[in-house]
Amino acid sequence: MNKNSIIWLRRDLRLYDNAALFHALKDSNQVFPVFIFDIKILSELKNKKDRRIEFILRSLDEIKKSLNEKGSDLIVEMGDPESLIPKLITEYKCKSLYINRDYEKYAKDRDNTISEILSNKEVTTLRFKDQVLFENNEILTQSNNPYTVFTPYKNNHLKRLNEQGIDLYNCENHKDSFAKFAHKALPTLEDLTFEKTNLDDLDLPAGTSGGKELLKKFCNNIKNYSTNRNFPAVRGVSYLSVHNRFGTLSIRHLAKLAIETDNDGASTWLSELIWRDFYFQIIANFPQVSEKKSFKSQFENLPFENDENKFEAWKNGLTGFPIIDAAMRQINQTGYMHNRLRMIVSSFLVKDLLIDWRWGEQYFEDNLIDFDFSANNGGWQWAASTGCDSQPYFRIFNPVLQSEKFDRDGVFIKKYIPQLAPLSSKEIHQPWVYFEKDKDTFPIKLGIDYPFPIVDHKIQRDKALSMYKACK
């Protein structure tokens, strides 16, 4: 063995249990770690205070420092990978490129193009499964077709996990294969044409160390996950979605931990990790969803009203429905939204405001720090009843009942809408009802301190049902 290789990090920003990195280190003489800020992706980010860029930079800084301790370094460039990767391959006299597979259309096309360019230079591209437990064709029905319904997929997935077990890749065993070299400093946010965000104010530490810190906190409460995950005012979820998105933690590590933690909470959490695999295999096997088409073709052209003013009210947390508005203010202020609230606000946009689910999907894509196309598209199509395994169209969330059930005392609402703090736990879910009863003594002035509802849920529900029935 006497070859140099590049490990190109993308959605796998860690140095432990990394499939491509493990094989690169094991099979190479010198391994040069690389990360590229892809200008095609950066150019599509509208918000210059995009928290994802700062999160990535912090995670890269941790990797760079860890590599420096080993006498190695991390090459970080900004540009077009189709020209940069071949350039770096030549510069560092490499014979192989190691990558972990990506399942999104742009990334797959880009990787295929780069692989072809390299093969013409007699350089091999080696690809590995890393960001999922099972890939697109590994969990199939008895007739060898991809699953389109979650529960049987999950059952098969769990069976395979139990049969095969989960092995982690011990990269540390081969750490001497990291190339000994020094590279320039990381680019700054300004170099990347972005600005500092409020990441410091959020309880969301970056890098593998940050992920492990959050994981430790979560493990202290994991037994209560099944119940607590539904209540946004309680610290009931893992908050690891951004670490899953950028691969600062290993999915194998998390699944193994869930399996070995034998309680209902851990089982429910494992189920959520399997949902993640499910949506990845949907985008891999059904390319129409990557083109933002409805999985159920009969609902492709639903006659949505698409009222721009209502959409603006939804985006800015000014619909007059407190649980909806608090959730939207959460995403706007933090780049995160609690999963239960994602279901409520997406149902509200589509079935109360009668706005195309793709408008909401795009807004989440622009604003979520943990944005992942597969899960985001899957969640929106689930709520809009257009997806593979979706909520039936006649099931429509009542925002007031959801609010009363999952934020009973209005703790979450008051955090993001302090104007509603004077209201009682009964009044806060539908303030307009109580305001109309006694405008003079009501603690706030609706229409001044907080808006009246922009729609009547009952009327909109009937309109939504008619819209879907017409397209059945």
Look up the pTM and report it.
0.96
Q: Are residues 83 and 94 in the same domain?
A: yes
Q: Are residues 11 and 97 in the same domain?
A: yes
Which alpha helices (H) appear in 134-229, and where do they start and end? 150-164, 207-221, 225-228
Distance of alpha carbon 260 from alpha carbon 266, whole angstroms: 9
Q: Are residues 274 and 309 in the same domain?
A: no
Q: Are 45 and 195 in contact (CB under 8 A)?
A: no
Residue 185 in any domain: the answer is no
Q: Are residues 12 and 99 in the same domain?
A: yes
Q: Are 374 and 279 in contact (CB under 8 A)?
A: yes
Q: Are residues 214 and 103 in the same domain?
A: no
Residues in the chain: 472
What pLDDT is attached to residue 2? 62
Pairing relationship of beta strands 4-9 and 75-79 according to DSSP bridges: unpaired
The CATH number covering residue 85 comes to 3.40.50.620
What's the token pair of residue 53? 């860029």
Q: Are residues 249 and 305 in the same domain?
A: no
- Residue 78's DSSP bridge partners are 37
Q: Are residues 156 and 31 in the same domain?
A: no
Residue 363 in any domain: the answer is yes
What's the token pair of residue 29? 């003489």
Dihedral class, residue 142 (left if φ above 0, else alpha if ψ from -120 to 50, else beta): alpha
Q: Domain of 48?
A: 4-129
What pLDDT is attached to residue 1? 56
The CATH number covering residue 148 comes to 1.25.40.80
Residue 418 in any domain: the answer is yes
Q: Are residues 158 and 111 in the same domain?
A: no
Question: 128 — phi, psi (to 5°)?
Answer: -135, 155
What's the token pair of residue 397? 């969330």
Final residue in a domain of this structure, among 98, 129, 160: 129
Q: Are residues 303 and 445 in the same domain?
A: yes
Mean pLDDT by 10 residues, the chain (472 residues): 90 98 98 98 95 98 98 98 98 97 96 98 97 96 96 97 96 97 97 96 95 96 95 95 98 97 95 97 94 93 96 98 98 97 98 98 97 96 92 92 98 98 97 92 94 98 96 82
Three-class SS state of 453: coil
Final residue in a domain of this structure, among 285, 318, 353: 285
Q: What domain count does the chain have?
A: 3
Give the C-alpha distances (Å, rounded to integers) separating 230 from 317, 376, 403: 21, 18, 11
How many CB atoms lie under 10 A from the CB of residue 278?
Answer: 25
Q: Are residues 270 and 220 in the same domain?
A: yes
Give the C-alpha distances (Å, rounded to integers) separating 151 from 230, 241, 278, 390: 20, 22, 10, 12
